[in-house]
Homo-oligomer: A and B are copies of this chain.
């Protein structure tokens, strides 16, 4: 189906969903109605070359990497993963309403003599806190933002843009994954990663490199016991969740790769989703917000259709 026909068909199906909801006049279509009206081309498969699978005792976590925003970090993380760097390391930190972090606890200690070798991976990296806005396909949101001149989505990731500075960056929404760093801006290397488990700490934007996003298994990281040490690091004697292994999907036998699809963020279907959330009115919602903030937009994931 060519692009114009596909868009028209989606519009028709969404129209039908709207008409169905219109029996009671002011209702918005549900998320499910919108997803039911999508076409196969509204979805994209997980990119096996840029998706990590992390195995924890409670289940697996899938992390989609963002090479368009942090190419050096993503490349370094792949070197580490392919050397099985993370296998047998642990969750080191869980700070309530902030982040869960993982890596080598020995690397935290001064001296770090016992720390695991980074092998072929770089120890320092250019600080990929922002990127040029030029050449970045960007789907803006309409309602403004407290922290950035403009927010929206780029390649499925929540992002922001500053036209005056010609910059774009990923935003610290719930589930976003970043590379921890020390005080030196180039000290992040991807060997220690964190994920946002609370209200978006947007003050971190442009101060640290975000490298991806959890697309499945977030509850494996968000529901862990909080650490009682400073900054939520686990104190001596507190049990740390072990990481069995981290693998790139592309390095797994095809049969072991989770087959998921993500709703594209540059489609009419996604625009309809945003609209239905902005103006949500149903049997329960009486007072639509009329607005939406970037970290409140759902990013649907589904099992891939059988081929």
Binding site for B on A (CB under 8 A): 94, 96-97, 129, 143-147, 173-175, 183, 185, 198-203, 205-207, 218-219, 222-226, 277, 280, 283-289, 291-293, 295-296
Contact = CB atoms under 8 A, between A and B. Distances in A.
Interface of A is mostly: loop
A199 B226 contact: no
Given A185-B286, A218-B96, A219-B96, A292 B200 contact: no
Contacts of A218: 96-97
A94 B222 CA distance: 12
- Between A183, A219, A226, A295, the greatest number of chain B beta carbons within 10 A of the residue's beta carbon is seen for A219
Contact of A199 (B174, B219, B288): B174
A223 B289 contact: no
Contact of A206 (B175, B206, B287, B293): B287
Contact of A97 (B129, B174, B286, B287): B174
A295 B185 contact: no
- CB-based closest 8 A-B pairs: A146-B293, A219-B226, A203-B289, A174-B199, A206-B287, A183-B283, A96-B219, A199-B295
A174 to B, nearest CB: 4
Contact of A146 (B129, B198, B203, B292): B292
A283 B181 CA distance: 12
A235 to B, nearest CB: 14
A57 B23 CA distance: 48
Which of A145, A203, A288 counts the most chain B CB atoms within 10 A? Answer: A203
Given A96-B223, A218-B96, A222-B97, A202 B129 contact: no
B219 A293 contact: no
A201 B226 CA distance: 22
Contacts of A223: 94, 96, 223-226
Contacts of A144: 144, 146
B147 A173 contact: no
Given A146-B146, A147-B291, 20 more contacts: A96-B219, A96-B223, A97-B222, A143-B146, A144-B144, A147-B293, A183-B284, A185-B286, A198-B222, A201-B296, A202-B289, A202-B293, A205-B289, A206-B287, A207-B285, A207-B287, A222-B222, A223-B224, A223-B225, A223-B226
A183 B226 CA distance: 35
A285 B203 contact: yes
Contacts of A287: 129, 206-207
